[in-house]
A and B are shown apart, each in its own frame.
Chain A
Amino acid sequence: EAQVTQNPRYLITVTGKKLTVTCSQNMNHEYMSWYRQDPGLGLRQIYYSMNVEVTDKGDVPEGYKVSRKEKRNFPLILESPSPNQTSLYFCASSLDRDGDYGYTFGSGTRLTVV
């Protein structure tokens, strides 16, 4: 089944403790992206990657890092999480940057930073 898999689905952590949210897609998509979704603010892009070893900042990159060493994986790293990073996170992939054929989203990771 073609899908984007995120882990974990839920995570509660403490301020300052580094964490990684994994994202993997099995569709050989070139383009991958991370979003956060907050009430009243909709979906905001954090980082995106157009291909292996190519990453760029989105609208809200502060406090986040990403890497794209392999085509299928695009982990999101919070080096020192803070409470304002409490949010619902989505990873997405598409065939190309245009989003032709549509973006496929993961099921989401609900992160709480206390």
Chain B
Amino acid sequence: GENVGLHLPTLSVQEGDNSIINCAYSNSASDYFIWYKQESGKGPQFIIDIRSNMDKRQGQRVTVLLNKTVKHLSLQIAATQPGDSAVYFCAETSYYSNYQLIWGAGTKLIIKP
């Protein structure tokens, strides 16, 4: 089956530094990608999305980069804060997967004071 996976299961970052969370996907036909944040005891929360016709999209303190050549997705969080501590998931979908979300395993982001 198609895979969407993350390079690092745990990422520790100093408060105030920038965080970069990476994700690899294998379906070159994927056309829509989403990043979610899941805090302990809560459901996943939409952060930002990007379509395959874009290579960069910015939100508030977050930027998603898409490199279709190497099938790589990244989430950049600027000036990381304690409230950013969570597990981050990338998800991929496409017309060919009937637009079902295919989820990565998740990366746990730990903020060091």
Contact = CB atoms under 8 A, between A and B. Distances in A.
B interface, how many residues as a size bin?
20 to 34
Contacts of B44: 43, 90, 92, 103, 105
Interface residues of A, number: 24
Interface in B87-113: 89, 93, 98-101, 103-106
A97 B89 CA distance: 19
Contact of A42 (B41, B49, B98, B104): B104
Interface of A: 4, 33, 40-45, 48, 56, 58-59, 90, 92, 97-99, 102-108
Interface string B29-58: 000101010000111111001000000000
Contacts of B89: 42-43
A108 B42 contact: yes
A104 B106 contact: no
Contact of B100 (A45, A90, A105): A45
Contacts of A103: 34, 36, 44, 46, 101
Contacts of B104: 42
Given A42-B89, A42-B106, A43-B89, A99 B101 contact: yes
30 contacts: A4-B43, A40-B105, A42-B89, A42-B105, A42-B106, A43-B101, A43-B103, A45-B100, A56-B98, A58-B100, A59-B100, A90-B43, A90-B44, A92-B43, A92-B44, A97-B98, A98-B32, A98-B93, A98-B99, A99-B93, A99-B99, A99-B101, A102-B46, A103-B46, A103-B101, A104-B46, A106-B43, A107-B43, A108-B42, A108-B43
